[in-house]
Amino acid sequence: MEIAVIGAGYVGLTTAACLAEIGHRVACAESNAEKLSMLEGGGLPFFEPHLDQLVARSRQAGRLSFCPTAQAVERGHAIFICVGTPPLENGEADLSAIEGVAREIAQHARSYRLVIEKSTVPVRTGRQLRKHLGLYNRAGFSYDVASNPEFLREGSAVEDFFHPDRIVVGVENEKAAGILEEIYRPVLNRTFVCPVHSPCRVEGQPPLLVADINSAEIIKHASNSFLAMKISFINLIADLCEAAGADITKVAEGIGLDRRIGSAFLAPGIGFGGFCFPKDLQAFVRIGETLGVDFALLREAEKINLQRIHQFVGRVKKELWVLRGKKIGVWGLAFKPNTDDIRFAPSLAIIRRLLAEGAEVAAYDPQAAGKTKLELPEVRYCDSPYDAANGAEALLILTEWDEFSRADWDRVRTLMDRPVVIDGRNMFSPEEMASRGFEYVGIGRGASAPVPAAH
């Protein structure tokens, strides 16, 4: 099928590359001239595992190309809108880019088009999209509007496309539903060889949920808000564990063994970040206000998340007393592992607080140092985790990269001026770190000694 993808950000570029991988001919449009030039030259504007291989292979096979929006609209019978919807000052989603795409589609399309929202948008956006397509439709072409929310996690977006938990489509008629089902048929039927060598999370065919457009739009915001709420809940329980002398890792394990709850997103730490959860939570609260629904529950989840930064910096100050002039090593800058995304990353907020207190920060991240340097030029960026630990009076772990779990801790101890590890992701065992000669501070690890296993 001839498909257009408008927007070459995380969602757009991943969607375009994966659709091309399963056999479609995809024109991916980008309005930013610098980014478009980079893509045409073979570069990628961000890091995402496996994506470079998919883009290169599909371009070589002639199934993927990059072009301005007008050309993509002219070529694509199905058009995926994947542009940004950043938060406004009041928390609402900025839909100006969506409207701009609607104008371009209306201006350049000449025959039937299925226009598909893939960007995360407030409920009833489909209605507005249909209205604006009609207002500017000078050629009189026919069209349908659909919603196909994305559930791609940064760091595993390619895997998520090929191994989805579900595919959700919001449509107005059977024709639109049939087109979307045809687009995703290779994924639904698993009739292609997945290029990502990882076990499939879904046995058999992943479910295809067909709904009305309003319901599909709500599913995306509701999913992210629920997961954000789950993270804030376990962080609150971690605070209780710390105060009571309990171990959050055991408490979380016990909660997660309940099949109604599950273990996912029950890892306490410095809070959620990235571009999706913070902005989607705010946007959903504003949607509720607009429609007369009080989302006080979600506002409290957001409040708890913001408090994590203050609490973590408090832990650092408790260990070091005075921060001014102290050398502090930081491992991890990206908001999560396997990405270079630092948008709303808790690490940046923590580092800003440390710098404001007069601390000297040396940081290492396998992917995100380049982008962070533009935001925080005062930090010393290191080429290895050991360089960041050298001479430090405390080492902060802010992103759970696998590389850190394989570190030579004997070497780290000899490099540090004071062997203090403050683990914002609970990557390590307090007992193991103590055996290696470290003072270790985790999140919600209040138990004074391990409990022997039952026999």
For 176-230, write each residue's pLDDT tens digit: 999 999 999 999 998 776 676 555 555 678 999 999 999 999 999 999 999 999 9
Mean pLDDT of 413-434: 97
Q: Can you read off the two tokens belonging to residue 149?
A: 């929310």
Q: What is the pLDDT of residue 204?
A: 73
Q: What's the rounded Cα separation, in Å, for the pair 414 and 358? A: 25
Residue 49, classed as helix, strand or coil, is coil
Distance CA 111, CA 107 (A): 11
In this structure, what token pair is assigned to residue 276? 């999706």
pLDDT at 245 > cutoff 90 = yes
Q: Give the Cα separation of 343 and 372 in Å (integer).
A: 10
Beta bridge partners of 67: 29
- Output the pLDDT for position 452: 42
Within 184-212, residue ranges assigned H as helices are 185-189
The string of DSSP codes covering 314-363 is HHHHHHHS--TT-EEEEE--SSSTT----TT-HHHHHHHHHHHTT-EEEE
Output the six-digit token pair for 192: 């292609």
The helix or strand, by DSSP H or E, that contains position 270, with its residue range, turns out to be: none
Q: What is the pLDDT of residue 205?
A: 85
- The span from the CA of 347 to the CA of 352, in Å, is 9
Helix axes 125-135, 96-108, angle to 10 degrees: 40
Model confidence, pTM: 0.92
Tell me the C-alpha to C-alpha distance, in Å, between residue 28 and each of 8, 67, 176.
7, 6, 21
Q: What is the pLDDT of residue 56?
A: 96
The predicted structure's pLDDT at residue 311:
96
CATH number of 248-441: 3.40.50.720
Q: Mean pLDDT throughout 131-150?
A: 95
Give the right CATH number for 2-211 from 2.40.50.140, 2.60.40.10, 3.90.950.10, 3.40.50.720.
3.40.50.720
Strand order in the sheet with 420-423: 380-381, 360-364, 327-331, 394-397, 420-423, 439-441
Catalytic: 241?
no
User: Under a CB-based contact definition with an 8 Å cutoff, are residues 391 and 384 in contact?
Assistant: no
Helix, strand or coil, per DSSP, at residue 128:
helix
Per-residue pLDDT, 198 = 59
Predicted local distance difference test score (pLDDT) of residue 448: 42
Identify the DSSP state of 247: B
Half-sphere exposure of 410 (CA within 13 A, CB side): 0
pLDDT over 80 (residue 360): yes
Catalytic pick among 18, 28, 241, 276: 276
Tokens of 132: 């604006």
Question: What's the mean pLDDT in 145-164?
Answer: 95
Q: Delimit the domains of the chain by residue range.
A: 2-211, 248-441
Nearest to 311 by CA among 352, 269, 357: 269
Residue 356 exposed, middle or buried by CB count within 10 Å (0-12, 13-18, 19+): exposed
Q: What is the pLDDT of residue 42?
A: 95
pLDDT for 277 beyond 90: yes
Identify the CA nearest to 349 among candidates 305, 384, 400, 319.
305
Q: Residues, the chain, total?
A: 455
Classify 149 as helix, strand or coil: coil
Per the structure block, which two tokens stand in for 40? 């045409």
Cβ-proximal residues to 437 (8 Å cutoff; 6+ apart), any chain: 413, 419
Residue 451 pLDDT greater than 50, yes or no: no
pLDDT tens for residues 49-60? 999 999 999 999
Number of H helices, E strands in the chain: 19, 14
pLDDT at 138: 86
Alpha helices in 245-331 (DSSP H): 248-256, 277-290, 296-320
CA distance 64 to 3: 10
Q: Do domains 2-211 and 248-441 have the same CATH topology?
A: yes
| Listed range (178-192, 245-259, 288-302, 395-409) with the worst mean pLDDT | 178-192
Give the number of other Cβ atoms within 10 Å of residue 261's Cβ: 12
pLDDT tier at 450, thresholds 50, 70, 90 = very low
- Please state, in angstroms and rounded to a whole number, the distance separating the CA atoms of residues 316 and 204: 48
The H or E element containing residue 66 is strand 64-67
Taking all residues of the chain, what is their mean pLDDT, rounded to a whole number?
Answer: 94
